[in-house]
Chains A and B, each alone.
Chain A
Amino acid sequence: MKQQDFEARHRAEWGRLDEWLAASARKRPVDDGFPLAYRRLCQHLALARKRRYGSGLVTELNELVLRAHHVLYGERARGESRWLRFLLAGFPQALRANASLVWLATALFVVPGLVLAIACHFDADAIYTVMSSEEVRSLEAMYDSGNDKLGRKRNSGTDLAMFGFYIKNNIGISFRTFAGGMLAGLGSIFFLLYNGVMIGAVAGHLNQAGFAHTFFPFVVGHGAFELTAIVFSGAAGLKLGGALIDPGALRRVEALRVAARDAIVIMYGVFVMLVIAAFLEAFWSSSTMLPVQVKYSVGAGLWVAVIAYCLFSGRRHAA
């Protein structure tokens, strides 16, 4: 069959499919005939290639097939319960499936933190090895018990402004910690060590300088979500790095893709945790109205809840 006859015979059919595809970009119209029409189109493309029709026609059909392919194999909206199931089971399961990396990330964060905390606790000048005297002064001002609000200095800022700040800053850091895993894990390791060192140094120094009664009640609540989330994003980054260093039986690119698929599950959870942390940090932790005992006991409760969640949630539905 010559090309022009072929086109004349099927052009109307392609036109209908084209219109249908254009309409389905907005809202998917119901059409049970679509899969059939798609397969016929595939056949037409194969024929057009086999019969060596002109490249204009082949390109046109190829493009139509591509668009139809997108619609046919695209994601269908699934049930609403997906997010709930993820939070109740998917995220903690992903953490437990990568337990060794989570522990490694924890060690990378906690060990330097403890070392610096102890050093800064016993030596009032140790803090200056990691911070300038300017920074130390503003740090001490943040936790001055004369403040009516704790935490970062608030100029005209309200709690909501600080919420925005914590979201932008903390979640950005965790995303970078994750991305750093692409550098053979080194970026993630760096961010874990760096944050461990800084947080440890600050805690040790403030404790030694007599700010313990303002600093610890401030951090204990949101720390349950924030510190763990930093560690988890580090673990997700290490997962990428690990796949690059030791891809096992797969090609490096394949191993990386498989690892990224798992790691991104952890990052969803990290994101949720950091939003909670920012909320707590802005509205709960900063308050000076609440008695210290309340903050400590709620903080302890949150820590227990987060750890129990990571260890036990979703065990029953384990795959």
Chain B
Amino acid sequence: MSASEPPLDTLLEVETPEGIELRADVAGPVPRALAYTLDLLLRSLILGALALLMIPVGGVGIGFYLVLSFLLEWFYPVAFEVFRNGETPGKRRFGLAVVNQDLSPVRIDASLVRNLLRAVDFLPFAYLGGLASMSASRRFQRLGDLAAGTLVVHRVRRPASVALPDARPAAPDAPLRVEDQLAIIDFTQRHKHLSDARQEELANILLPLTGAQGAAAVSRLRGIGNWLLGSR
């Protein structure tokens, strides 16, 4: 870690051998708890179904039931993490995945470490230990993650390639700094995700640039955005 602390952010950057930086969003306790709850529910359902099917069979059934419940308890997450790209059904539902710290896929060793150590993360009860560890760690790692060198990240859902707003492309009146250009491009591309009122509010801040207020300012900004993106 560099001497100057990076800003507090959930964005993780990892440099690959190709010399580029991969970026991933580290997932916090809330989505992880939700994913865990869903997995727990699924597991309980499977276990309940197994119990209904097998326990009436008697000895053999009970034997199988106990072995399967053992496997479900300890190896359910391991199996999914190793064979399903780090996604248990719960994690998949909430767009999460387990990866190594260098963002490579988890292998069985790391997955086993992080899942066997659930036993301590669970302590004193209801994963309080894990929560404390996540809160104290920069990358939301519970104890099992720290020992295994793994992370839980958000799998970015592919942004549907955005249709640009129809505003007449127009060059800005004055040269813009790079950051400003980027901000305007983002503003233009996110025209479907922000409410009109919010867009106007944002556009009004740039009165000196657009020379307009309200809807006119918005369409002027969109025009600059389109122009910056290469529309003519």
* Contact between chains at B148 and A162 (CB < 8 Å): no
Query: Interface size on A (CB < 8 Å)?
Result: 59
Across the interface, name the chain B residue whose C-beta is closest to A170.
B70
**Mask: chain B, 1-22; 1 = CB below 8 Å from A; 0 = not:** 0000000000000001011101
Chain A residues whose CB sits within 8 angstroms of the CB of B109 once the complex forms: 261, 264
* Contact between chains at B103 and A179 (CB < 8 Å): no
Least CB distance from A46 to B in Å reads 5
Chain A residues whose CB sits within 8 angstroms of the CB of B229 once the complex forms: 2-4, 54
* Contact between chains at B147 and A54 (CB < 8 Å): no
Least CB distance from B145 to A in Å reads 10
Least CB distance from B167 to A in Å reads 15
A39–B16 alpha-carbon span in the complex (Å)? 11
- Which residues of B (71-110) have their CB < 8 Å from a CB of A? 73-74, 85, 103-105, 107, 109
Across the interface, name the chain A residue whose C-beta is closest to B184.
A54
* Contact between chains at A160 and B59 (CB < 8 Å): yes
Chain B residues whose CB sits within 8 angstroms of the CB of A161 once the complex forms: 58-60, 62-63, 66
Partner of B112, one of A60, A163, A267: A267
Across the interface, name the chain A residue whose C-beta is closest to B1.
A251
Least CB distance from B192 to A in Å reads 11
Across the interface, name the chain A residue whose C-beta is closest to B68.
A164
* Contact between chains at A65 and B22 (CB < 8 Å): yes
* Contact between chains at B159 and A157 (CB < 8 Å): no
Chain A residues whose CB sits within 8 angstroms of the CB of B62 once the complex forms: 157, 160-161, 164
A307: interface (CB < 8 Å): no
* Contact between chains at A3 and B161 (CB < 8 Å): no
With A60-B159, A66-B24, A167-B66: A158-B178 Cβ-Cβ less than 8 Å: no
- Which residues of A (231-270) have their CB < 8 Å from a CB of B? 240, 253, 256-257, 259-261, 263-264, 267-268
Query: Which of the 9-residue segments A67-75, A94-102, A109-117, A203-211 touches chain B?
Result: A67-75
* Contact between chains at A162 and B63 (CB < 8 Å): yes
Partner of B147, one of A39, A183, A240: A240
A4–B66 alpha-carbon span in the complex (Å)? 59
* Contact between chains at A2 and B181 (CB < 8 Å): no
A69–B103 alpha-carbon span in the complex (Å)? 8
* Contact between chains at A179 and B159 (CB < 8 Å): no
Tell me the dominant secondary structure on chain B's binding face: helix
* Contact between chains at A172 and B74 (CB < 8 Å): yes
B162: interface (CB < 8 Å): yes
Partner of A4, one of B69, B181, B231: B231
Partner of A63, one of B18, B107, B156: B156
B196: interface (CB < 8 Å): no
Chain A residues whose CB sits within 8 angstroms of the CB of B185 once the complex forms: 3, 53-55
A165: interface (CB < 8 Å): yes
* Contact between chains at B120 and A179 (CB < 8 Å): yes
Partner of A180, one of B22, B23, B113, B119: B119
A146: interface (CB < 8 Å): no
The CB with the most chain A CB atoms within 10 A, among B23, B147, B181, B185, is that of: B147
The CB with the most chain A CB atoms within 10 A, among B69, B181, B185, is that of: B185
- Which residues of A (46-103) have their CB < 8 Å from a CB of B? 46, 52-56, 59-60, 62-63, 65-66, 69-70, 73-75
* Contact between chains at A66 and B116 (CB < 8 Å): no
Partner of B116, one of A59, A69, A179, A183: A179
A303: interface (CB < 8 Å): no
Chain B residues whose CB sits within 8 angstroms of the CB of A69 once the complex forms: 16, 22, 103-104
Chain B residues whose CB sits within 8 angstroms of the CB of A165 once the complex forms: 63, 66
* Contact between chains at A175 and B74 (CB < 8 Å): yes
* Contact between chains at B119 and A179 (CB < 8 Å): yes
Chain A residues whose CB sits within 8 angstroms of the CB of B117 once the complex forms: 179, 182
Chain A residues whose CB sits within 8 angstroms of the CB of B59 once the complex forms: 156-161
List 15 interface pairs A-B (beta carbons < 8 Å), by A numbering: A2-B230, A4-B229, A39-B18, A42-B19, A46-B19, A54-B189, A55-B182, A55-B186, A70-B105, A73-B105, A75-B105, A159-B59, A161-B59, A163-B63, A263-B113
Partner-B contacts on A (CB < 8 A)? 2-5, 25, 38-39, 42, 45-46, 52-56, 59-60, 62-63, 65-66, 69-70, 73-75, 156-165, 167-168, 171-172, 175-176, 178-180, 182-183, 187, 240, 253, 256-257, 259-261, 263-264, 267-268
Given A25-B85, A268-B112, output 19 extra A-B contacts at Cβ < 8 Å: A52-B182, A55-B182, A60-B159, A66-B22, A70-B85, A74-B105, A156-B59, A158-B59, A161-B58, A162-B63, A163-B67, A164-B66, A165-B66, A168-B67, A178-B116, A179-B118, A260-B147, A261-B113, A264-B116
